[in-house]
A and B are shown apart, each in its own frame.
Chain A
Amino acid sequence: MGRQVIDPARQARLLTALYIAQEQKGYLTPEALERVARRLGLPLASVYGTTSFYTLFHTRPVGRYLLQVCRGLSCYLADGAERLVDYLQRKLGIQVGETTADGLFTLETVQCLASCGTAPAMRVNDELYENLTTAKVDLLIDELIERAEQWTALNRS
């Protein structure tokens, strides 16, 4: 196979394509990356290279709810970052980087979420939660579990 000619206009769609591909399984499977490479006419290596550069692209399975706790300086100063992470680790019974056995929650810490004035902050999938306390975290986790159960029940009926 000869050298691949890259069309810049198609390459510029790579991040968007990766987001769309990631929606299917919550992470980018090897097959999804191959499909993206084929559709955009890009070498698989360059698709993988770009994917691995960005923290919002996952190449391993993540839970239904991805909890991303900010570990930035302002959240630390607000006595939040560590306390929230400790609390969530105990509550969910997992360490940072792990997923609960039921596949519902993955816990991560992330860099500054630009919520420094409303610290501490956490993202859950695409939603941002600010001024967090352990009481709010309890409510939120209960709500997420309930939502997942309702969804499963609806899909069964």
Chain B
Amino acid sequence: MDSFEPVLTRNVGIPNSERIAVYLERGGYTALRQALHMPPQELIALVRASGLRGRGGAGFPAGVKWGFMPREPVTKYVCVNTDEGEPGTFKDRLLVEHDPHSIIEGTIIAAYAVGAHRAFVYIRGEFFLGVKRWIKAIDEAYAHGFLGKNILGSGFDLDLSVHRGAGAYICGEETALLNSLEGRRGEPRLKPPYPTQTGFWNQPTLVHNVETLANVPHIVNRGAAWYRTMGTEQSPGPKLFCVSGHVRRPGNYELPLGTPLRTILDQYAGGMRGDRPLKAVIPGGASTPMLMPDQIDIPMDFESLAAAGTMLGTGAIMVIEEGTCMVEVARRLIDFFAHESCGQCTPCRIGSLRLLETLTRIVRGQGQPGDLDRLEALCQGIAGHTLCPMGDAVVNPVLSSLRHFRHEYQDHIRYRQCKERGYG
């Protein structure tokens, strides 16, 4: 594992890595030159062969998504999803702030492959430095002829602009993002139709996460076979893992998919921060079910985590030590979802609030005997009954903490206080 050479973060840490001069000096935009000489269908086939899967959480094969875009010369769009907001996740921010040109290069290649001439960056309103970096980098790319009319003499035109969100987690969901981009409330749309068919202004639209697009130039430069030397058969390539919580060295670590969770925690994140042993790990962001200490030899890839009943999600690993109140952990996560529910579907809007009220009551020592059944009944009423995946996400922190730490909930109700806080 020590021999792994960073791909996505190769420019991070180099002075002025966000500037085009540095990016060019380090081999930037050579993939674009190469791509513009390839027939679009060949590029789509290359990305499909690489096995690149979406890094925004769902893991859908990128090349297949490109193939869903109609071949006809209708108006098409590409959208760069920089609405990073899943608690525990801070990888896209790193790429945008330190290597925006790698994302721009990936975006131009994707737009060329699917025949789009207009692309948008949608960025979280809170990422002010990110907004500035994006705008500066796009200006530089125009000045060098990588954007605009007749890019590098290829006859291909592409315009790219930055659009700032305004504080709404749900806009990371691609159809909510499109509504927000259109100047509306960021409420998800019913799928199907998918954005590749009916997206921005009802035209076919390819929406990709920042990290997904940052992979593309490397695949063009070095080929699908090289790409597949990293990761697993089903989950190839490098991945940014965001480690936070009770570890000695929280941060972003780029490693091949399939790297064991234990390796990431011990060798990279420096192990637990203090004397307290590990209690639980949330492996892929707020909405992913927890793993227990006896499960941390698991390879961090889409399949292994799904087989363990959880998800790779965004690769946001949150580490929790003994002595942490798991009811409070669940309450914090539900506080997030209750706040961020767009309000469109009643089960999510009302259900998440009822979950929050019940959890808050339990944490405060005011829990009632029927509360655990009530929590489970609420979860049943929410999951699967909403337009977007938020309904399934909101129940996970509750169900997974109830499954592994039911006794803590029961103790809160029985003793009217938290026993965990007295640990150590």
Residues in chain A within 8 A of chain B (CB atoms): 8, 11-16, 18-19, 40, 46, 49-50, 53-57, 71-74, 76-78, 110-119, 123, 126-128
Could you say which residues of chain A place their CB within 8 Å of the CB of B339? Answer: 111
Contact with A along B263-282 (1 / 0, CB 8 A): 00000000000000000001
Q: Which residue of B lies closest to A114 (CB)?
A: B90
Residues on B with beta carbons closer than 8 Å to the beta carbon of A46: 184
Kindly name the residue among B164, B168, B183 whose own CB sees the greatest number of chain A CB atoms within 10 A. B183
When distances are taken between beta carbons in the complex, the residues of chain B under 8 Å from A15 are: 163-166, 180, 183
* Shortest Cβ gap from B342 to chain A (Å): 8
Give the nearest-CB partner of B88 in chain A. A116
CB distance from A98 to the nearest CB of B (A): 19
Smallest distance from the beta carbon of A19 to chain B beta carbons, Å?
A: 7
Contact A56 B127 (CB under 8 A): no
Contact A73 B86 (CB under 8 A): no
Check B184 against A11 for contact (C-beta < 8 Å): yes
Contacts of A128 in B (CB 8 A): 126, 128-129
User: What would 18 A/B residue contacts be, using CB atoms closer than 8 Å?
Assistant: A14-B183, A18-B166, A53-B168, A53-B186, A71-B335, A72-B88, A72-B332, A74-B244, A77-B318, A110-B167, A111-B336, A111-B339, A112-B86, A114-B84, A114-B126, A116-B242, A117-B242, A117-B244
Does B340 sit within 8 A of A, measured CB to CB? yes
How many angstroms between the C-alpha atoms of A116 and B186 in the bound complex? 25
CB closest chain-B residue, reference A116: B244
CA distance A77 to B166 in the complex (A): 26
Residues in chain B near residue A40, CB distance under 8 A = 183
Instruction: List residues of B whose CB falls within 8 A of some A CB.
Output: 84-90, 92-93, 124-129, 163-169, 180-186, 201, 242-246, 250-252, 282, 286, 316, 318-320, 324, 328-329, 332-333, 335-336, 339-340, 342
Do B332 and A114 touch (CB < 8 A)? no
Complex Cα–Cα for A123 and B126 (A): 8
- Residues of chain B within 8 A (CB-CB) of A127 are 128
Write the nearest CB–CB distance from B256 to chain A, whole angstroms.
20
Instruction: Say yes or no: A73 contacts B89, CB within 8 Å.
Output: no
Which one of A50, A55, A71 lies within 8 Å of B167 (CB-CB)?
Answer: A55
Contact (Cβ within 8 A) A117 B90: yes
Contacts of B183 in A (CB 8 A): 11-15, 40, 50
From B201, which residue of chain A is reached at the shortest CB distance? A8
> Closest 3 A-B residue pairs measured CB to CB?
A54-B166, A55-B167, A14-B183
Asked whether, in the complex, the Cβ of B252 is within 8 Å of the Cβ of A73, the reply is no
Q: Are B163 and A73 in contact (CB under 8 A)?
A: no
Whether A56 pairs with B126 at a CB distance below 8 angstroms is yes
- Nearest-neighbour CB distance to chain B for A33, whole angstroms, equals 14
Q: In the bound complex, what is the Cα–Cα distance between A139 and B128 (angstroms)?
A: 22
Distance (whole angstroms) from the CB of B314 to the closest CB of chain A: 10
